[in-house]
């Protein structure tokens, strides 16, 4: 396998042995947006439990008792502009707007032992090291960097549950491996609840770390083994204020003592090394036990062949990325497409051990029987396009993800499906109950084959949980009042869509009463529509609309991560009715035009940390998800050709093959899934529907290699950067007179052909 490396971080090229037969040539993982670095650049396999990656600073979550705004940049632990690396930790989120994790940071050093990480401006005062992007290499399942201050070359690769480190040392009698059990992402005092380390022998360590953060009860066990024995070891315990420590004071626990425990400890392991000697570490994770972590380690990586593990992981990426083979107008489009595929196959993450066991939401041990258990469900984002994409190209995995959601529901004392969950915890982030969209869509499209009746009941129970986020008031009044909830309008709109999904599932299962009930609820979006302003608007408990109302502001107006302009378009399940209510097709098309062309003053996103000017086109905020379907709404007006025009514009402006090439957080793959669908020429505007809105494909041609053994081809004629309009669409050689394609048409195999043109077909 040949590799070609270029200097910018996160850019890698993987050429297969027979490159001409591969559907792609290379992938360049984009690290973040113009001001943020929210996608980790390290090593992982598709959907792996381990994301082994460098962390570049140790900022505190709070400063003087207040939230540290600079912390937001480190959601994934890495900032491209930073000049130092603190170490390499094993768990990271990819592209989220909030964070956690960063477990078990390892740093190799030489010289005098230092257990403090130091600071970015004075790295010599700690174990961190300066580095240069010129000495940095990122490939699929591989990361390499030169740690300048220690003259050590660090290399990382992974299996699903094990991180594999390879450190090339200089000659030294003072070589160290630091294992920092205090370090984490979004760190603050008392986030660490407890840590434990057990030295089994001179090359094997086990232990665990318990934290209380975004996930308030999270325990991760580990097993760590070295390729050569260490000559000594020790710890520093930073629990200075611990009132009582029992009679452990009888021992000197600081050096060569095999049991270490405390809230905040850093450990070290000493070696003597020859010039160019490689010290390797295998580090396995488990949510269940140290024993399971060790079993994961010995099962997945029994030997010490670093190159084999790296190659196996890259072959796994080749297999997954080969699910869609494309040809494009230029290399940048191909880079963007496969970068997007790479991002979409990072999350959700595998969450069970090799024996099937995992820690559940009830904090007990469970076993995944007949499915792989997954975690990291950023559902407010990913229900829109990521899970619908999986229904086409990852149906088995998506079925397992729904099974994981059902397991979550079964283990929940509240009997609710997940909202935003990770590591056996519900963190309740964002709004809506969008797991019902994922569940319903998967059953309707045949990718979840479990108990559909039980799944429907889980959806109903979730939607009827009156004490959660205004649901009781929503059921009673048909809307949520402004005084009772700060995101009253967006919650009402999102619940209405989710209720429509439940109705579609009920219809499939012939549950007429349930269908009628939730179809009625799905019309609740009308209750927050203000005809006078022509926007969705907060209502008071007495039914009147809130008087002080700013349609551009994202603060205090009843919306989450969006303003009235964007959220007033959020009726994906009933666009015709929404357009009619807002003045008809022509008036609505003019309104959409204004969305994309108006100028949004800086003051309206000055305090929005997750969106910058680069993520906005006019007032259309692509960098946040609520309006991701907006460009496709032109299909319901008399100017459907504007969907084609807008989609191609968004593809070019919001996705670039650079280190800061995303217009917003990737949000566990949602931004990237939008790119994949839109590049192929269709998009799931309302998951739960079997239809995909047609747009304008950006590829020359594509082949979707489906799990059922069939292929679905997307071809174009007269494709160019100027020919963004669609003159005609053919499915299996027959011209169609509609603006959508169905799920069955895709999964049955066949071909859709777009005849492209430089001018729109307006009739």
Q: Tens digits of per-residue pLDDT, 306-323?
A: 999 999 999 999 999 999
Residue 68: give its domain's CATH number.
2.70.98.10
**Can you tell me the mean pLDDT for 656-669?**
89
Q: Is residue 673 situated within a structural domain?
A: yes
* Cα angle 146-148-167, degrees, rounded to a multiple of 5: 45
Q: What's residue 22's pLDDT? A: 47
| 559 has a pLDDT exceeding 90 | yes
Q: How far apart are CA 405 and CA 16, in angstroms?
A: 36
Whether 501 is covered by a domain: the verdict is: yes
Q: Clarify whether residues 388 and 533 are in a common domain.
A: yes
Q: Are residues 347 and 248 in the same domain?
A: no
Q: Please, what is the average pLDDT of the chain?
A: 93
Tens of pLDDT, residues 620-639: 999 889 999 999 999 999 99
Alpha-carbon distance 336 to 365, whole Å?
41
Joined tokens for residue 739: 């603006």
Q: Does residue 381 share a domain with residue 296?
A: no
Judged against a pLDDT cut of 70, whether residue 325 lies above it is answered with yes
In this prediction, residue 659 carries a pLDDT of 84
What is each CA distance from 51 to 59, 76, 346, 661, 709, in whole angstroms?
20, 10, 9, 21, 31
- Please check whether residue 762 lies inside any domain of the structure: no
Dihedral, 367, 411, 97, 116 alpha carbons, nearest 10? -60
CATH of the domain at 509: 3.30.2080.10
Tokens of 761: 């077909």
Instruction: Place 600 in a pLDDT band, splitting at 50, 70 and 90.
Output: confident
Q: What's the pLDDT score for residue 9?
A: 28
Say if 431 falls within a structural domain. yes
Measured CA to CA, the distance from residue 86 to residue 127 in angstroms comes to: 7
Q: What is the C-alpha separation between 619 and 599, in angstroms, rounded? A: 7
The per-residue b/e assignment along 323-358, b for 16 or more CB within 10 angstroms, e otherwise, is: bbbbebeeebbbbbbbbbbbbbbbbbbbbbbbeebb
- Which of 273, 300, 317 represents a domain boundary (last residue)? 317
Q: Of 176, 97, 254, nearest to 670 (Cα)? A: 97
The whole-number pLDDT of residue 320 equals 96
437 and 567 in a common domain: yes
Residue 645 included in any domain: yes
pLDDT score, position 63: 86
Cα–Cα dist 730/682, whole Å: 14
| 470's tokens | 């205004």
DSSP letter (8 states) at residue 187:
B
Residue 728 lies in a domain: yes
Give the integer Cα–Cα distance in Å for 392 and 714. Answer: 14
Q: Is the pLDDT of residue 35 over 70?
A: no
Are 307 and 390 in a shared domain? Answer: no
pLDDT in tens, 382-401: 999 999 999 999 999 999 99
Asked, for residue 449, whether it belongs to a domain, the answer is yes
> pLDDT tens digits, residue range 210-227?
999 999 999 999 999 999
pLDDT (tens digit per residue) in 2-19 = 232 222 223 333 333 233
- The confidence band for 618, taking pLDDT boundaries of 50, 70 and 90, is very high
Distance of CA 14 to the CA centre of its chain: 23
**300, 317, 334 - which closes a domain:** 317
Specify the pLDDT at position 633.
98
> Six-digit token pair at 165?
């480190």
Within 10 angstroms of residue 476's Cβ, the number of other Cβ atoms is: 9
Same domain, 617 and 716: yes
Mention every residue, 6+ apart, whose C-beta is less than 8 A from residue 629: 384, 569, 572, 683, 685, 686, 693
564 pLDDT above the threshold of 50: yes
226 and 354 fall within a common domain: no
Same domain, 288 and 356: no
**Rounded to an integer, what distance in angstroms lies between the CA atom of residue 83 and that of residue 364?**
42
pLDDT over 60 (residue 25): no
pLDDT score, position 499: 98
Answer yes or no: do 212 and 326 share one domain.
Answer: no
* DSSP assigned state of 510: T
Full-model pTM: 0.95
Whether pLDDT at 351 is above 80: yes
Does 763 reside within a domain? Answer: no
Mark which of 317, 336, 351 sits at the end of a domain. Answer: 317
Q: H/E element holding 581? A: helix 575-581
Lowest-pLDDT range of 61-75, 267-281, 346-360, 416-430: 61-75
For 663-723, where are the E strands, in sequence order?
Answer: 682-683, 691-694, 699-705, 711-717
**Neighbouring residues of 303: CB distance < 8 A, sequence distance ≥ 6:** none
User: Do 311 and 357 belong together in one domain?
Assistant: no
From CA 428, how far away is CA 406, in angstroms rounded? 17
Q: Are 376 and 262 contained in the same domain?
A: no
**pLDDT category of residue 27 using cuts at 50, 70 and 90:** low
What pLDDT does residue 19 have?
A: 33
Between 498 and 32, residue with greater pLDDT: 498
Per-residue model confidence as pLDDT tens digits over 451-463? 999 999 999 999 9
pLDDT over 70 at 92, yes or no? yes
**Do 233 and 328 belong together in one domain?**
no
Model confidence at 36: pLDDT above 70: no
Query: Residue 586 CB: number of other CB atoms within 10 A?
Result: 12
Which pLDDT score, from 0 to 100, does residue 33 have?
67
In terms of C-beta density within 10 A (0-12 exposed, 13-18 middle, 19 or more buried), how is residue 742 classed? middle
**What range does the domain containing 158 cover?**
2-317
N-terminal to C-terminal alpha carbon distance within the chain: 52
Give the number of domains in the chain. 2
């Amino acid at each position: 396998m040949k590799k070609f490396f270029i200097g910018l971080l996160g850019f890698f090229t993987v050429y297969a042995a027979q490159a001409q037969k591969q559907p792609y040539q290379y992938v360049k993982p984009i690290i973040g947006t113009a001001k943020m670095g929210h996608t980790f650049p390290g090593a992982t396999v598709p959907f792996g439990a381990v994301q082994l990656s460098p962390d570049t600073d140790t900022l505190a979550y709070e400063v003087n008792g207040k939230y540290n705004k600079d912390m937001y940049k480190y959601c994934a632990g890495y900032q491209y502009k930073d000049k130092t690396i603190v170490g390499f930790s094993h768990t990271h989120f990819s592209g989220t707007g909030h964070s956690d994790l960063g477990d078990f940071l390892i740093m190799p050093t030489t010289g005098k032992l230092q257990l403090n990480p130091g600071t970015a401006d004075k790295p010599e005062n700690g174990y961190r090291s300066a580095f240069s992007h010129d000495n940095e290499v990122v490939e699929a399942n591989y990361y390499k960097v030169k740690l300048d201050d220690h003259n050590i070359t660090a290399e990382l690769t992974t299996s699903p549950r094990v991180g594999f480190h390879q450190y090339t040392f200089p000659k030294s009698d003072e070589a160290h491996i630091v294992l920092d059990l205090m370090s984490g992402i979004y760190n603050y005092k008392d986030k660490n609840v407890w840590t434990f380390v057990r030295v089994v022998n001179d090359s094997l360590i086990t232990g665990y770390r318990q934290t209380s953060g975004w996930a308030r009860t999270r325990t991760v066990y580990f097993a760590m083994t070295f390729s050569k024995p260490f000559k000594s070891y020790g710890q520093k315990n930073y629990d200075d204020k611990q009132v009582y420590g029992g009679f452990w004071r009888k021992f000197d626990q600081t050096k060569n003592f095999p049991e270490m425990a405390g809230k905040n400890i850093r450990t070290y392991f000493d070696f003597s090394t020859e010039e160019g000697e490689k010290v390797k570490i295998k580090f396995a994770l488990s949510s269940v036990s140290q024993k399971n972590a060790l079993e994961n380690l010995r099962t997945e990586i029994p030997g010490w062949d670093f190159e084999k593990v790296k190659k196996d992981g890259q072959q796994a990426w080749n297999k997954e990325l080969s699910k869609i083979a494309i040809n494009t107008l230029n290399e940048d489009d191909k880079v963007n497409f496969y970068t997007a595929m790479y991002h979409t196959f990072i999350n959700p993450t595998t969450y069970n051990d090799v024996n099937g066991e995992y820690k559940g939401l009830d904090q007990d041990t469970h076993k995944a029987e007949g499915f792989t258990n997954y975690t990291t469900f950023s559902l407010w984002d990913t229900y829109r396009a990521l899970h619908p994409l999986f229904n086409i190209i990852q149906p088995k995995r998506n079925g397992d993800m729904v099974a994981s959601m059902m397991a979550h529901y079964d283990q929940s004392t509240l009997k609710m499906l997940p909202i935003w969950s990770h590591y056996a915890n519900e963190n309740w982030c964002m709004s809506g109950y969008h797991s019902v969209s994922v569940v319903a869509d998967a059953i309707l499209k045949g990718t979840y084959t479990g108990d559909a009746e039980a799944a429907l009941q889980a959806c109903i129970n979730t939607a009827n949980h009156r004490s959660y986020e205004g649901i009781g008031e929503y059921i009673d009044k048909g809307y949520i009042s402004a005084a009772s909830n700060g995101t009253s309008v967006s919650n009402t709109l999102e619940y209405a869509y989710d209720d429509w999904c439940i109705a579609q599932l009920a219809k499939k299962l012939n549950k007429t009463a349930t269908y009628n009930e939730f179809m009625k609820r799905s019309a609740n979006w009308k209750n927050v529509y203000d005809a006078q302003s022509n926007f969705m608007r907060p209502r008071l408990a007495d039914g009147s609309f809130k008087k002080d109302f700013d349609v551009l502001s994202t603060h205090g107006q009843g919306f989450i991560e969006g303003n009235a302009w964007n959220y007033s378009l959020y009726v994906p399940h009933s666009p015709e009715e929404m357009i009619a209510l807002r003045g008809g097709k022509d008036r609505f098309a003019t309104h959409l035009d204004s969305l994309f062309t108006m100028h949004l003053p800086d003051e309206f996103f000055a305090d929005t940390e997750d969106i910058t000017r680069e993520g906005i086109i006019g007032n259309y905020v692509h960098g946040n998800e609520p309006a991701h379907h907006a460009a496709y709404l032109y299909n319901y007006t008399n100017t459907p050709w504007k969907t084609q025009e807008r989609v191609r514009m968004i593809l070019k402006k919001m996705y670039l093959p650079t280190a800061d090439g995303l217009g917003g957080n990737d949000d566990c793959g949602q931004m990237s899934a939008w790119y994949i669908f839109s590049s192929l020429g269709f998009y799931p505007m309302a998951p739960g529907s079997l239809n995909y809105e047609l747009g304008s494909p950006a590829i020359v041609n594509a082949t979707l290699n489906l799990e059922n053994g069939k292929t679905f081809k997307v071809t174009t004629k007269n494709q160019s950067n100027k020919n963004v309009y669609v003159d005609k669409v053919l499915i299996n050689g027959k011209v169609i007179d509609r603006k959508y394609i169905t799920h069955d048409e895709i999964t049955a195999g066949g071909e859709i052909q777009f005849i492209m043109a430089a001018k729109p077909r307006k009739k």
